[in-house]
A and B are shown apart, each in its own frame.
Chain A
């Protein structure tokens, strides 16, 4: 029992520790002087030096890391250097829900598209539908995401006017308005992810459909749709679930282009803006939060393999 629960937790702690160290050291590699970033150009060297001293930038690296980590463990991620000089935690608290909503909505839409397409494709393996779906997904994958976003904006917002172009609305201020605003950026993400999911799941399904137990299910008189959903899908979804876990973490931090296109105040925009301004506490805090989400979602996915395949349950105990 101790091995089963303690070991993964220790692993998790070790990974998070390394992540925090990496995030912190990364910032010493970033070019530019934070003091210049805060005060602007053209001040006296003494003024810059005073600020550096005040921010603790002249302390040894290790002690700065210790101070920062101590703060992090108490929920204090520091203060933004650039006005408004609010707590980093607050900035993240306002940006994170936007990114999470986008990522979750995008992945749900991607799965809603990918599952039926992959099943249809695998069922007609080598047929016209299969080849058409393969061509479309390949096309989507080789297209940069901003292009998909631009096309969607041009058609659905500018030409047809189906979707609003106003400011981001938080779910608390009206769920309908929030969803109508989130739909297009989520769709942009979904199309890319759906293309990848479809290809992965389709290939695994094709392999599974050649298994004896599929033939046996046919011989029991089960319909093709039922065999696909009830017999083939679960044993074929390991790669998909793995990729899904990676996607959750990746999307939270890397939807920058989509966030810019649709003017969304999410994590990607927060990190990029802060990095451009040399606002290193914000970058550190945001990257750390993204990393934690990444690690957490993958740990969670690891746990679901047992649900997918009963044979792995005993092996992991």
Chain B
């Protein structure tokens, strides 16, 4: 709290995304808050179905209130209240303020459009530059994301490029208008393992060069570990633990974080060590369990866990330093229950 003069680039406050489906209301994101400053990277981790992709899209405003969706809470990007803006005003943010890198480069580029068109139409839409100028900038962007022979690649179609090259193109289109915030939604999940590291390194260096903020959504803890400043662990639409990446991974407080980390195969383990997978599946978000949502799968669950929803509270001793928070009645590192989290429900 020493530099309160600079407002954070991204402020998400008590964000909730509810889909109204035939099976009932699905609370995909259920009261998530966080902040992100320029130049900072935040990792959003959790299993499939934990609501992290929906959170990413709601933060951007791609998912907003409509006939089948209700979004409450607020998202402020660079001072703009994303969900209070008219759709046309919101579209003006998409490109210069916030951009997204999608999961699968095989499907996120239009198969009937040349690579160059994806870039130039974005540039012309937001920067209102001429065709020639847009092409020059596009060549430059492809060069920046490490694509050889950029001028020739511009005229090719997506199917003529490899998966890694396509994801570089997707990143180039996201960076086209110099966004201040980049949301990377599982940017390496669909790629070959050998290419994953290249793409993550590329994203990391581009973000650092441009002093962008990045929200890295991933289920791959390894991808998040070395490349983010802070990490937020999601379970069933809620934040279960957050803090600086290194301490969270070194000494997880929430049993879910601990279980996630334990389920990563480790080469240091002797052969034939049984991998500790997390039993069961994430809960049905149309009918979330009462109390702590992880309780049915949790090894540390006690009687009170299924009755009361634990709130996110600061971990004593470290709160002032790292902003470490956990939502658990029986955190791993502590023997006594935390003060102040028994007010939920």
Whether A220 contacts B94 in the complex (CB less than 8 A), given A230-B121, A310-B159, comes out as: yes
In the bound complex, do residue A231 and residue B113 qualify as a contact, i.e. CB atoms below 8 Å apart? Answer: yes
Which B residues are in CB contact (< 8 Å) with A220? 94-95, 99, 118, 121-122, 125, 173, 176
In the bound complex, do residue B157 and residue A231 qualify as a contact, i.e. CB atoms below 8 Å apart? Answer: no
Whether A221 contacts B94 in the complex (CB less than 8 A), given A310-B159, A311-B157, comes out as: yes
- B107 interface contact, C-beta 8 A: yes
Rounded to whole angstroms, the CA-CA distance of A178 and B215 in the bound complex is: 64
Q: How many residues of A contact B (CB 8 A)?
A: 20
**Mask: chain B, 101-115; 1 = CB below 8 Å from A; 0 = not:** 011100111111100
**Mask: chain A, 285-317; 1 = CB below 8 Å from B; 0 = not:** 000000000000000000000001111000000
Whether A219 contacts B60 in the complex (CB less than 8 A), given A211-B107, A212-B107, comes out as: yes
In the bound complex, do residue B62 and residue A215 qualify as a contact, i.e. CB atoms below 8 Å apart? Answer: yes
**Mask: chain A, 32-55; 1 = CB below 8 Å from B; 0 = not:** 000000000000000000000000
- A218 interface contact, C-beta 8 A: yes
In the bound complex, do residue A213 and residue B125 qualify as a contact, i.e. CB atoms below 8 Å apart? Answer: no
Q: How many A-B residue pairs have CB under 8 A?
A: 71
**Mask: chain A, 197-214; 1 = CB below 8 Å from B; 0 = not:** 000000000000001110
Rounded to whole angstroms, the CA-CA distance of A42 and B60 in the bound complex is: 89
Rounded to whole angstroms, the CA-CA distance of A220 and B60 in the bound complex is: 11
In the bound complex, do residue B108 and residue A234 qualify as a contact, i.e. CB atoms below 8 Å apart? Answer: no
Query: Quick one: closest A residue to B117, CB to CB?
Result: A230
Q: How many residues of B contact A (CB 8 A)?
A: 30
Rounded to whole angstroms, the CA-CA distance of A218 and B125 in the bound complex is: 12
In the bound complex, do residue B100 and residue A219 qualify as a contact, i.e. CB atoms below 8 Å apart? Answer: yes
Query: Quick one: closest A residue to B113, CB to CB?
Result: A231
In the bound complex, do residue A212 and residue B104 qualify as a contact, i.e. CB atoms below 8 Å apart? Answer: yes
- A235 interface contact, C-beta 8 A: yes
Rounded to whole angstroms, the CA-CA distance of A230 and B113 in the bound complex is: 9
- A136 interface contact, C-beta 8 A: no
Rounded to whole angstroms, the CA-CA distance of A136 and B88 in the bound complex is: 31
Query: Quick one: closest B residue to A308, CB to CB?
Result: B112
Rounded to whole angstroms, the CA-CA distance of A174 and B102 in the bound complex is: 58
- A217 interface contact, C-beta 8 A: yes
Interface residues of chain A: helix, strand, loop or mixed (majority): helix
In the bound complex, do residue B108 and residue A213 qualify as a contact, i.e. CB atoms below 8 Å apart? Answer: yes
Which B residues are in CB contact (< 8 Å) with A211? 107
- B76 interface contact, C-beta 8 A: no
In the bound complex, do residue A216 and residue B95 qualify as a contact, i.e. CB atoms below 8 Å apart? Answer: no
- A222 interface contact, C-beta 8 A: yes
- B91 interface contact, C-beta 8 A: yes
In the bound complex, do residue A234 and residue B112 qualify as a contact, i.e. CB atoms below 8 Å apart? Answer: yes
Rounded to whole angstroms, the CA-CA distance of A217 and B93 in the bound complex is: 13
Which A residues are in CB contact (< 8 Å) with B111? 213, 235, 309-311
In the bound complex, do residue B62 and residue A219 qualify as a contact, i.e. CB atoms below 8 Å apart? Answer: yes
- B170 interface contact, C-beta 8 A: yes
- A166 interface contact, C-beta 8 A: no
- A223 interface contact, C-beta 8 A: yes
**Mask: chain A, 8-33; 1 = CB below 8 Å from B; 0 = not:** 00000000000000000000000000
In the bound complex, do residue A219 and residue B121 qualify as a contact, i.e. CB atoms below 8 Å apart? Answer: no
- B197 interface contact, C-beta 8 A: no
**Mask: chain A, 219-251; 1 = CB below 8 Å from B; 0 = not:** 111110000001100110000000000000000
Interface residues of B in 138-196 (CB under 8 A from A): 157, 159, 170, 173, 176
Which B residues are in CB contact (< 8 Å) with A222? 91, 121-122, 125
Quote the shortest CB–CB distance from B55 to chain A (angstroms). Answer: 15
In the bound complex, do residue B92 and residue A221 qualify as a contact, i.e. CB atoms below 8 Å apart? Answer: yes
In the bound complex, do residue A221 and residue B125 qualify as a contact, i.e. CB atoms below 8 Å apart? Answer: yes
Whether A231 contacts B110 in the complex (CB less than 8 A), given A220-B125, A221-B122, A222-B121, comes out as: yes
Which A residues are in CB contact (< 8 Å) with B121? 220, 222, 230
Rounded to whole angstroms, the CA-CA distance of A215 and B95 in the bound complex is: 13
Quote the shortest CB–CB distance from B117 to chain A (angstroms). Answer: 9
Rounded to whole angstroms, the CA-CA distance of A223 and B86 in the bound complex is: 13
Which A residues are in CB contact (< 8 Å) with B88? 223
- B126 interface contact, C-beta 8 A: yes
Which A residues are in CB contact (< 8 Å) with B112? 234-235, 308-310
Whether A235 contacts B110 in the complex (CB less than 8 A), given A218-B94, A221-B94, A311-B157, comes out as: yes
Interface residues of A in 68-101 (CB under 8 A from B): none
Which A residues are in CB contact (< 8 Å) with B103? 212
Rounded to whole angstroms, the CA-CA distance of A184 and B92 in the bound complex is: 45
Rounded to whole angstroms, the CA-CA distance of A216 and B102 in the bound complex is: 7
Rounded to whole angstroms, the CA-CA distance of A280 and B176 in the bound complex is: 68
Quote the shortest CB–CB distance from A284 to chain B (angstroms). Answer: 44
Which B residues are in CB contact (< 8 Å) with A219? 60, 62, 94, 99-100, 102
Interface residues of A (CB under 8 A from B): 211-213, 215-223, 230-231, 234-235, 308-311
Subset of 8 A-B contacts with CB under 8 Å: A211-B107, A213-B108, A215-B102, A216-B100, A220-B95, A231-B110, A235-B111, A235-B112
Extra inter-chain contacts (17) besides given A212-B104, A216-B109, A223-B91, CB under 8 Å: A212-B108, A213-B108, A215-B62, A215-B108, A216-B108, A216-B110, A216-B173, A219-B100, A219-B102, A221-B95, A222-B121, A223-B88, A231-B113, A309-B112, A310-B112, A310-B159, A311-B159
